[in-house]
A and B are shown apart, each in its own frame.
Chain A
Amino acid sequence: DVKVTQSSRYLVKRTGEKVFLECVQDMDHENMFWYRQDPGLGLRLIYFSYDVKMKEKGDIPEGYSVSREKKERFSLILESASTNQTSMYLCASSYGTSGPKFNEQFFGPGTRLTVL
């Protein structure tokens, strides 16, 4: 079974703090993604990565950055947390360009971040 894990289920930070959210997958997936989930807004893509050290902006990258130093790990960084970044953050991964169901994204359990 594919396993995608995230470093924390719940996180409380203060405005202005630097926040790191970690995601690890154990299936040698090429692609990794960070989403935020807010009621009524669905899943919105923040950043994604197709390979190690590669990153591309999603639909809402402002205020965030990412790092992918190793294939299995994808980190989301909030350089200076703000209250409007309070949200559920979901990481996902998928296979590369070949193989069965290579488009299927496997999600982590999510991190509920509260910024006070």
Chain B
Amino acid sequence: GENVEQHPSTLSVQEGDSAVIKCTYSDSASNYFPWYKQELGKRPQLIIDIRSNVGEKKDQRIAVTLNKTAKHFSLHITETQPEDSAVYFCAASRITGGGNKLTFGTGTQLKVEL
């Protein structure tokens, strides 16, 4: 089955700096890669996703890049703000007719310091 590795497990940045979280996956058939954000005490929520036919996707201060050859994808947050502090999870999935089973990474605790 799919295996997703995520690094680093913790990341501390100064407000205004950029943050990068990296994930690798094992199943070359995976074609959908979402990122979820979980604030303290809250439920995970989707913040951005990318499909394998796209190399990069941006949404305001966040972007995701995908390298299919190397089987890795990354989340980039620019101009970090205190409200970006949270746990971020990457995931991988092979979209089939039956729906989407996600395999998650182990999470990155991002702390944005003032």
Which residues in A have some Cβ–Cβ distance to B below 8 Å?
A: 30-31, 33, 35, 40-45, 48, 50, 56, 58-59, 90, 94, 96-97, 101-105, 107-110
Contacts and interface: CB of A to CB of B under 8 A. Distances in A.
Contact of B34 (A41, A50, A104): A104
Contacts of A45: 101-104
Contacts of A103: 32, 34, 49, 93, 95, 100
A109 B42 CA distance: 7
Nearest to A38: B106
B99 A96 contact: yes
Interface residues of B, number: 25
Contact of A97 (B34, B98, B107): B98
Nearest to A49: B99
B61 interface: no
Given A50-B98, A101-B46, A103-B32, 5 more contacts: A42-B106, A43-B89, A48-B99, A90-B44, A103-B100
Interface of B: 1, 6, 9, 32, 34, 42-46, 49, 89, 93, 95, 97-107
Contact of A43 (B32, B93, B104): B104
A41 B106 CA distance: 5
Given A42-B89, A90-B43, A48 B107 contact: no
A108 B101 contact: no
Contacts of B9: 40
Is chain A's interface secondary structure helix, strand, loop, or mixed overall? loop
A42 B6 CA distance: 10
A113 B100 CA distance: 26
Contacts of B101: 33, 45, 48, 56, 58
Contacts of B106: 40-42
A35 B97 CA distance: 22
Contacts of B42: 109
Nearest to B98: A50
Closest CB pairs A-B (n = 8): A42-B106, A107-B43, A43-B104, A31-B99, A103-B100, A42-B104, A104-B46, A42-B107
